[in-house]
Structure 1
Amino acid sequence: MANNSLKYIYQCTVIAAVGGLLFGYDTAVVAGAIGFIEKKFLLSAAMKGWAASCALIGCMIGAMVAGVLSDKFGRKMVLIISAIAFAISSIGILIPGGIDSFIFFRFIGGAGIGIASILAPMYISEIAPPHIRGKLISIYQLGIVIGILLIYFVNAAIAGMYDEAWNIEHGWRWMFGSGVIPSIIFLLLLIKTPESPRWLASKNKWNDAKAILVKMNGEEGALKEMLDIKTSLEEKQGTFTELFQGNLRKPLIIGILLAIFSQVTGINAIMYYAPEIFKAGGSGSSSALLQTICVGGINFLMTLVAIKYVDKLGRKKLLLIGSAGMFVCLGLVAWAFHSHISGSYWILAGILAYISFFAISLGPLTFVVAAEIFPTHIRGRAMGLAIFFLWLSVYIVSQTFPILIESIKETKTFGIYMILSGITFAFVLKMVPETKGKTLEEIQEMWKK
């Protein structure tokens, strides 16, 4: 593959990955703001969970409609809609209003997140050469963790500007409002981004599809790709009913269960409530915010490791290593809380190690596997359904975490996440096939066999 072609593919991938940055930025902003929101509106544990997780209802709806809308209007156009939703949400929360106004605009932002969580990895999977597809889709996950790390710094900077009273009244609004800047950047970048050639082909726009494929793969590679796409598109447009039948049932089960396991093992309990967890372990408020930045930093660094090895070691091996490591680390966190160790160093060590294992496995690879295991004619709907369950799981974890901590305490809560990590290991070992190095069309044929 020519250097110019590879450069063009990476440019398109990075632009799509900015959607991941917005995803990370908008989901993790609540970690620094939730304590101030709780005091501002005098929230109960259940309402605190609702304030933190209300955006996820929008995520579920966004995920469900993204596939159908993108099959009709194109991947690019619906990504533009997601960027607009992010911007509206940020501006709406910045304007003073009550808790109902906050929840409404978080819902709109959640819809943008849900759309981006489907379409950015799907778009990348449809432009990526097979030998680096895992790496390119993992760049989307890198965008997410950069967004998380960035907002942790922004939250800490805003929280440090004035005293706590100002943060309770105004600071948390500026944390959310800052999201308008990356939203506008994403919108401007998307305008010059090409449409997915596979989507263009599905709409019989073969000349447009070929022009983009030539830029990405050269003349010879484009012709081969066109033949593969034509063969895969000979099947009629898929329906939701078809997903539960015949050859598609197994990839659907894998996509849904992997999405669920990626969340019920506790990642967003930490991403949403990290400062509160560190405070419970004995850290002060400022120390807890700094430790939260460490969480974002290690997440970023280990995602780079995943990008390097996903196409060398393969999806399955990394998923097994990651889920086993998460099991051990969550056990360490549960033990540290149970032992009432003074200070939070063991808790911090366990959580950072847990984040490391998540970042090389379930973090990026859930999106990699979901973006590549479904046939082209039904990929939008299938990914929409799988990622809907991902967001449903995120909602359940983030809504229940404060209640679990209040009722059964930290030890048993992290013990539950540990057991679920063990179940994830068994599921990957038994059910998830290796897909590295295969074209999307070869994976499609694999299910028929």
Structure 2
Amino acid sequence: MSSPNKSNSRGSKSTQKLEVIDNIIERKIGFGLYQKRALGYLCLIDFNDGLELILMSLTLPIIKNQWNIEHASEVGDGEQYIDSSRYKWLGSIFFLGNLLGALLTGPLSDKFGRRKVVLINSISYGVVAFLFLFVQSLGELYFLRFIYGFVYGITLPISTTFYSEITPQKMRGKGVVTINSAIPVGLATGVIMAAIVLNDTSSGNWRLLISLSCIPAFILFYGAYKHLLESPRFLVVDKRIQEAADIMNQMITINKGDGGEVVTDDEMEQLEKWRARKYDHFQGMTQIEQVKNQISLIYLKIFQLFKDKYTWISISLCVQWFGIHFMSIGQTFILPFVQAQQKKGFGDMLLVFFGEIPGVIMTFLIIDRQYFGRKNSLILFFGGCFVLNLLAYYQVSFSFVLSLSRFCYRQCHAVLYVITNEIYETPLRTTGIGVNSAFARFSTVIMPFVLVAIFDASTYGPFLCLAIIGAVCSLMAYKLPFDTTNIKLDHVDEELEQRTHPLDVVKEENMSSSQKSNNSHQPNKQKDIEIPLIQQK
């Protein structure tokens, strides 16, 4: 392996078309064993999300029935009896924990790093899940359901952010889709576990069922501790250039052996210049606010998400995140109630969730196609959510329609994760994911109260509510200012500049080969166009 202290002219030339950090990831690190191994462990985060969601939904009716039988003497006014109000809060408090956890995702991962947050939260999640075995009081049940959601609310948004920052552009979209596809696998696994552990949809050992979810959490902790390295992008923005270079060299060694081309001193200098040029305005904000505590920094970054170039982007994304979680999780929450009236078991529920599997395959086929891409995918599949939930409301092929709706939900979930990771710059990426995830989690906090109230009035009424939300989200996707398909990370300014002068972009793309040849003999003129733009920014 060559010394990292030797300058390499090849590296500097290659950065003419790519930013230096993109150049290192694309040309030196590549996509190899390290990225594949990281992808496998990060999938466990989303797998656990699907698992915990279905377990919380499936066990809630069982908890109510069996808990009240165990405390039959307290019916009416007993502290341990679950009445209608307490029942709704048991459903909501889990999602409230998710909401509060998601608010801390950005600040914690930006302060301590992506890897440390994954380690601490995976072991915490495993311990909390195991403690469900010993629940004896209603207070303990409230507390554990809240912490269960809180811990994973912090961890979930990191999976796709972490992966996006360590992977070449061409593999980023499909990798994020792969991570997100672990959620339906977790859902299906949870239904299978319930069929094995529980007696039926109304009785069984719910304590044991929930506690079994500690197993993938402990596996994730072991894998992250042994094999995951910190995100070099995070380290560069955090002014830890040498540490970032060391980690990138480790990735190169894992992927290409000792013969790989390591990060040079020249590239390290370019990394510092790139960081200063792109992010000194963010660092300046933190210096101005340094006399305040860490909470002020949280408000500062959240404010930045809704300022200037990000204003409409963040509003549109927040509405879509709110809507997709209300629809997908709301359907999962209310489905056991509807199927109980239809007297259907775990098999029918499993078939509904299997509808998400074709959605994963479809996403792989279209996610990186320039003429379809992220934005058009969201418009189309949110529209599908509207149509299919409307059909479910009118009970048209009910189970089949629900399966197709899961297909659309999965598409929207996957594409939203990708586009949100790509559209925010590195200092705001985890905060952006965290805030959008917080909007999503807030929707799930109010969802039990809304859907249960509608269900009490009309069995199929909740699906009309979900249809209306799907239509609104499709409109908001249409209003996004641009698509992020095949753009490099941290290039929002360039994309907005192109949208500001669309005719110039069209003319450039339609230049004849002879015109391109003539322009190639005028390099100084091209530089004169580019440099003022950079200086202006």
Bin of the TM-score, shorter chain as denominator length: 0.7 to 0.9
The reply on whether 1:184 has 2:233 as its aligned counterpart is no
Contact 1:323 1:424 in 2 (8 A): yes
The reply on whether 1:40 has 2:89 as its aligned counterpart is no
After TM superposition, the structure 1 stretch with the greater mean CA deviation from structure 2, 98-107 or 1-10, is 1-10
Q: Which residue of 2 aligns with 1:209?
A: 244
Contact 1:60 1:392 in 2 (8 A): yes
1:348-381 Cα offsets, whole Å, 9 max, x none, are 0110011111112x22122222222111122232
Equivalents in 2 of 1:156, 1:432: separation in Å? 46
Q: Which residue of 2 aligns with 1:388?
A: 438
The reply on whether 1:137 has 2:172 as its aligned counterpart is no
Structure 1 residue runs of 5 or longer lacking an equivalent are 338-345
Q: How far did 1:196 drift? A: 0.7
Contact 2:245 2:263 in 1 (8 A): no
The reply on whether 1:314 has 2:362 as its aligned counterpart is no
Q: Which residue of 1 aligns with 2:514?
A: none
Q: How far did 1:119 drift? A: 1.2
SS in 2 for 1:234: helix
Q: Which residue of 2 aligns with 1:262?
A: 324
Contact 1:82 1:111 in 2 (8 A): no
Q: Which residue of 2 aligns with 1:252?
A: 314
Question: How many equivalent residue pairs?
Answer: 429
The reply on whether 1:351 has 2:368 as its aligned counterpart is no
Q: Which residue of 1 aligns with 2:532?
A: none
Letter in 1 for 2:484: T
Q: Which residue of 1 aligns with 2:332?
A: 271
SS in 2 for 1:431: coil
Letter in 2 for 1:77: K
SS in 1 for 2:165: helix
Q: How far did 1:228 drift? A: 5.3
Equivalents in 2 of 1:245, 1:317: separation in Å? 25
Q: How far did 1:298 drift? A: 2.0
Q: Which has the larger radius of gyration?
A: 2
Equivalents in 1 of 2:481, 2:350: separation in Å? 33
1:177-199 Cα offsets, whole Å, 9 max, x none, are 10111111011011020111111
The reply on whether 1:51 has 2:110 as its aligned counterpart is no
Equivalents in 2 of 1:268, 1:127: separation in Å? 30
Equivalents in 2 of 1:220, 1:317: separation in Å? 39
Letter in 2 for 1:278: Q
After TM superposition, the structure 1 stretch with the greater mean CA deviation from structure 2, 185-194 or 319-328, is 319-328
Q: Which residue of 2 aligns with 1:11?
A: 37
Higher relative contact order (CA 8 A, sep 6+): 1
Instruction: Give RMSD over aligned pairs.
Output: 2.6
Equivalents in 2 of 1:252, 1:219: separation in Å? 39
SS in 1 for 2:355: helix
1:63-85 Cα offsets, whole Å, 9 max, x none, are 11121011111011011122123
Equivalents in 1 of 2:487, 2:202: separation in Å? 54
* Distance change (3 Å), C-alpha of 1:3 and 1:297: farther
Q: How far did 1:213 drift? A: 3.5
Equivalents in 2 of 1:447, 1:85: separation in Å? 41
The reply on whether 1:235 has 2:261 as its aligned counterpart is no
Task: Give the TM-score taking structure 2 as reference length.
Answer: 0.74
Equivalents in 2 of 1:34, 1:92: separation in Å? 17
Q: How far did 1:242 drift? A: 2.6
* Distance change (3 Å), C-alpha of 1:213 and 1:255: farther
More helix by share: 1
Q: Which residue of 2 aligns with 1:323?
A: 382
Contact 2:482 2:495 in 1 (8 A): no
The reply on whether 1:26 has 2:52 as its aligned counterpart is yes
Q: How far did 1:307 drift? A: 3.0
Q: How far did 1:132 drift? A: 2.3
Contact 2:393 2:460 in 1 (8 A): yes
**Identity score, percent:** 19
Equivalents in 1 of 2:303, 2:382: separation in Å? 32
Q: Which residue of 2 aligns with 1:105?
A: 144
Task: Give the TM-score taking structure 1 as reference length.
Answer: 0.88
Q: 1:424 aligns with which of 462, 465, 473?
A: 473
Q: How far did 1:447 drift? A: 4.4
Letter in 2 for 1:434: D
After TM superposition, the structure 1 stretch with the greater mean CA deviation from structure 2, 250-259 or 187-196, is 250-259
